[in-house]
Amino acid sequence: MTINRRKFAQGVTIAALLAGIPGAGYLMLGQAHKKDWLRLPGALDEKAFLALCIKCGQCVQVCPYHAVFLLDIDDGAATGTPIIRPELRGCYLCDLLPCVLACPTMALDHNVSGAEQVHMGVAVLTDKTQCLLYQKKPVNAEMIDALISHGTRNEVEKELAEKLREHVGKDCVLCRDFCPYPDRDAAITLDGGYPEFHERCVGCAVCQELCPTQIIEIIPRKTYQEVYRKERGS
Ligand code: SF4
Ligand code: SF4
Ligand code: SF4
């Protein structure tokens, strides 16, 4: 990390802390030049989003799951804008989408008011053979501890941790059981012994976050048709 970068990061992090933003953290994970960010619910297309987002951190402040991160100084014009980092925390599609409501500039579109209207991306399974359900292996305590380490800072996160603990020793159905889309069957099913994603998957990344073998990925911004039609070669 360069001194300038370090100073900037310290500055913005301290500013965020002074502003009382819980969980505020500027990522230092070397994501320079990446363009396909997983944005928040309601985010306008990337160009319009960047034009309107004033990097105020309001969305960070209101997210009960601490799912919103701000991009690092290496990210050019996107520096300081919010993203979801699925490996750290998915978006749990909270009632009334508080992040959207908190956005003062409509960079997060206030016409998006519920999970059914969200479109962040689409989930894909990268390697069926590594799926615990497919392998008929149960979830173990270490796996759940690793997931719980993503955060237990408030009651919402503690409740999530408790629900996760209930899965120890059982068949893995984590990706489906925690999918926050209201009509879960329209987003993800496990009927074939591994996850299959469907048209209403909104790309919230909860399944990616909670998959113990990390075989789910979100393709940001893409539609189901774009991803799965292409996959089938039609
Ligand atoms: S919907 Fe909820 S979990 Fe998702 S980013 Fe917004 S506040 Fe956070
Ligand atoms: S299947 Fe559910 S949990 Fe996974 S990305 Fe889609 S909507 Fe989110
Ligand atoms: S979370 Fe889903 S994809 Fe991952 S191992 Fe469990 S059943 Fe398989």
**What DSSP designation does 130 have?**
G
CA of 135 to the centre of ligand 1 (A): 32
pTM of this structure: 0.86
- Regarding whether 137 and 92 lie in a shared domain, the answer is no
Q: HSE (CB half, 13 Å, CA atoms) of 204?
A: 30
Show which of 91, 114, 137 is a domain's final residue. 114
Ligand 3 pocket check for 93: Cβ under 6 Å? no
Query: Which DSSP symbol is given to 33?
Result: T
Is the distance from the beta carbon of residue 122 to the nearest atom of ligand 1 less than 6 Å?
Answer: no
What tokens were used for 205?
């990344």
Query: pLDDT tens digits, residue range 83-107?
Result: 999 999 999 999 999 999 999 999 9
Whether residues 156 and 200 share a domain: the answer is: yes
Q: How far is the CA of 44 from the centre of ligand 3 (A)?
A: 31
How far is residue 5 from each of residues 60, 74, 150, 165, measured CA to CA in Å?
21, 8, 26, 39
The answer, yes or no, to whether any atom of ligand 2 lies below 6 A from the CB of 204, is yes
Number of domains in the chain: 2
Q: Does 178 share its domain with 217?
A: yes
Residue 130: CB within 6 Å of ligand 3? no
Tell me the pLDDT tens digit for each residue of 35-67: 689 999 999 999 999 999 999 999 999 999 999
Residue 190 CB-half CA count within 13 A = 18
Using the 3D structure, point to which of 69, 84, 114 is the last residue of a domain: 114
174 CB near ligand 2 (under 6 Å): no
Q: Which amino acid is at 201?
A: C
Domain's final residue, options 114, 142, 167 = 114
Range of the domain at 66: 3-114
Look at residue 76 in the predicted model and tell me its pLDDT: 87
